[in-house]
Chain A
Amino acid sequence: MDQRVPAVSMRNITKTFNSGAVVANKDVSINIYRGEILALLGENGSGKTTLMNMLSGIYFPDEGQIFVDGKEVVIRSPKDALDLGIGMIHQHFKLVDVLTATENIILGLKEKGKLDLKAAAKKIKDICDQYGFDLDPMQKVYNMSVSQKQTVEIIKVLYRNADILILDEPTAVLTPQETQSLFNVLRNMKADGKAVIIITHKLNEVREISDFVDVLRHGEFIGSLTTSESTPQEWTDMMVGRKVTLNIERPDPLGLPPRLKVKDLTVRSEEGLIKLDHVSFDVSGGEVLGIAGISGSGQKELLEAIAGLQVTEEGSVIYVEDDGTEEELLNQDPNKIRRMGITLSFVPEDRLGMGLVGNMDLADNMMLRTFRKGKSPFTDRKNPHKRAELIVKELEVVTPSIETSVRRLSGGNVQKVLVGREIAEAPKVLMTAYAVRGLDINSSYTIYDLINQQKQKGVAVIYVGEDLDVLIELSDRILVLCEGELSGILDARKTDKNEVGLYMTSLHGEGGEAS
């Protein structure tokens, strides 16, 4: 597009997996220039991360060339990439918990002479000052918040003099406020002449931070747009390949009586820290109760306590049957809750570590919920198989077969399998934790639709989310947690992002207008 030499130029890159059976990237060419921020857009499985992994030395392309500053290079390992000044910040952090920020940052560096932690800390401090990071080099990683850990990861590559940075969904785990400070840092880097590539699903962030947008679809390069001269609607259309509407439907709540009554729920972690502090609320059939809060404010403990997976200290969770009888759910194991005839479905945050077994196939994963049925000592394999087939068909799960290990599916398809299984049980209460995290737009809307369908069937839905825009659009009421305490319950139809943000960061929205 102009005469400048791109910092990185990937040309005609092709990458296949499974001996060519899966084409992750096909003949993709992209350019990145210094002093610019490029947003790489595409649905799940469109090959964004694979493409970037080839740049950072994790994968090796089958075909194509990579040029850095106009010279052809061969990147065989992450070390090669770093030697060329390319650093990638992955979605999942790779830090040693018991070490300090400094120790983590210099880990693996082969510098001559004595280990000089002080000098390293000084250099880290300089980097922080230069770009506007807020980090104590001597802090241990286990004491850090998610955003601080991310800061350590970013400084790790800057410390190695990277000037081409790749960030894979950096804002997925951040609060709006943390996202803003990250963006400030990125702007400083851009001003400093670094080339930044950011992979994200959040279109408003793309608009805010990027200069250019490159879109991939099904592994192919679709087009490059200037951010300021295009609209989110155009990007989505390019990503999906057809027009999509960006509004979430919100049917009115059914106005049923309360289904779950939570009172004074208190949970302490094994270390004795208060995780939930006397939280009380009701949730009715036919409504979606959104739960907002900075990550780690007690959302996980709340859902797991209701599901019978968390030891609680105090309080009660009452389940109200259709005829008005009340059952205590607290301190019952999940099996007992089921035997009481209560179908409580739970889509946990950790899909492959808790909700599903990665190494088992789709049918075997369906069996997790049903294998106890019947008196026979042997398992029924036919029905789970049928159920898996049904879910694949209805939710358009992309999988080679029912016999494929779940871990081989892409994130969105894994989630469809999990949500599909939980809904197939015809629950009375449906709890989801970060149901659309890492999912592309199409899959996300499938999940929102499913949630709304359940709501209209009279299911009480508890939806823990992180994208406030979605929470406000999807929920009927929003319960905000702040450091384990109930900060407020807001009417989703009347509130806005700023108000929710205030409640998330301070109890009862102090500083904002009281509701």
Chain B
Amino acid sequence: MNKKTKTPFFHIVKRGEIPRWESIMIHAIALILALILCAILTTLLTGQNPIDVYATMFEGNFGTERKTWILLHLLAVLLGISLALTPAFKMRFWNIGGEGQVLIGCMASGAVMHNWPQLPNALLLLLMLIAALAAGALWGFLPAICKAKWGTNETLFTLMMNYVAIQITAYYTIRWEVPKGSGKIGIINQASHKGWLPSIAGQQYLPTILVVALLTVLLYFYLKYSKQGYEIAVVGESERTARYVGIKVEHVIVRTMSLTGALCGLMGFLLVSGSAHTITTTLSDGRGFTGVMVAWMGKFNPIIMIFTSFLISFMGNGAQEVASRFHLNHSFSDILTGIIIFFLIGCEFFVSYKLSHNKKGKEE
């Protein structure tokens, strides 16, 4: 037989729905490969034994009790922001304004804290919370109502709202700066601890962690079992179907984005009142964007999102320890986190497709 053409060695085949354990296996393999690559890279750069490096990383997270609390707090904040963003993304509303929504929440609660320290602490905290929720909701509401009414582009709109929030915060940090000329506010109510979330069992971070834990459960049920959650899913999958069954799409968009904004505002409140006790433009620290990734990687499932945000927090925290111990540039932790995320997102390809080895055709 004349065989000029070569049969390709493998071809790409779309998979059907695969069992959950297989999907978990694929992710686990991707994670292991990522860790191996990170190890090789670290060894090349530091000359250290990769086992030592990972040990250092582990120490950076669990070395002392304090380090563990820091990890849990980082995890809670990232998870909380990711959860806040989830309803909007599940609705396929491309909200990249999480950063601004968190920051305006910080700003609002910080403003109340700074201006009315004379109020009773419980009332002050309540007012701070309300202010943060309202400000965040407003930051979510504005792009949503414009999209619903006039079809504006939500991605650009929410992005611009980030800058508005940053500029407002920058303005007030200068106006309220302490001491004059320092360019920052400093710790608010340092002496009186007014507007500070109280420590629970001596742990400053515990209130934040508990609130986020509660939020995880609530959001899980809201998205999965509530009528509003179902509406969000339908609008996200197909607006035409939503209209066909009489769902008011504009109404759902505005409601859901206000919710996302308010929850971001809540995270802003927790950041200011629970840990930072000050206002700076960098309080959110990019987590309004990282949260988008966590939400997508977790497939909008709050339970899976716990793992994705844990992984990112663990790596970020650990890599920082590695960087400081081996005198590496701060960006080193970003590189390692980037590698891991790349592998985790890349492995989605193997969840949807597989490479199939070609068998030879039957000979006659």
Contact = CB atoms under 8 A, between A and B. Distances in A.
A65 B362 contact: yes
Interface of B: 1-3, 5-8, 11, 13-17, 221, 225-228, 230, 233-234, 237-238, 240-241, 243-248, 354, 356, 358-359, 361-362, 364
A377 B227 contact: yes
Interface of A: 11-12, 17-19, 21-22, 60, 62-65, 71-74, 76, 307-309, 333-338, 346, 348, 350, 353-360, 364, 367-369, 371-372, 377-379, 381, 404-405, 408
B17 A74 contact: no
Closest 5 CB pairs of A and B: A335-B246, A18-B16, A334-B246, A65-B361, A74-B5
6 contacts: A17-B14, A63-B359, A71-B2, A76-B11, A307-B244, A364-B233
A12 B364 CA distance: 10
A76 B358 CA distance: 12
A336 B3 CA distance: 68
Contacts of B237: 357-360
Given A72-B3, A359-B237, A379-B230, A21 B16 contact: yes
B361 A63 contact: yes
A147 to B, nearest CB: 25
Contacts of A353: 238, 240-241
A408 B16 contact: yes
B171 to A, nearest CB: 41
Contact of B228 (A18, A19, A308, A377): A377
A456 B106 CA distance: 65
Contacts of A21: 16
Nearest to A64: B361
A241 B364 CA distance: 30
A76 B8 CA distance: 8
Given A62-B359, A63-B361, A379 B241 contact: no
B362 A348 contact: no
A71 B17 CA distance: 38
A405 B17 contact: yes
B244 A371 contact: no
Contacts of A360: 233-234, 237
A350 B248 CA distance: 20
A167 B221 CA distance: 49
A12 B2 CA distance: 19
Contacts of A11: 361-362, 364
A72 B244 CA distance: 51
B223 to A, nearest CB: 11
B17 A408 contact: yes
A334 B245 contact: yes
A377 B227 CA distance: 6
Given A63-B361, A65-B362, A354 B238 contact: yes
Contact of B8 (A18, A72, A74, A379): A74
Nearest to A12: B362
B226 to A, nearest CB: 5
B245 A368 contact: yes
A33 B11 CA distance: 29
A74 B13 CA distance: 17
A358 B248 CA distance: 20
Nearest to B4: A71
A179 B154 CA distance: 45
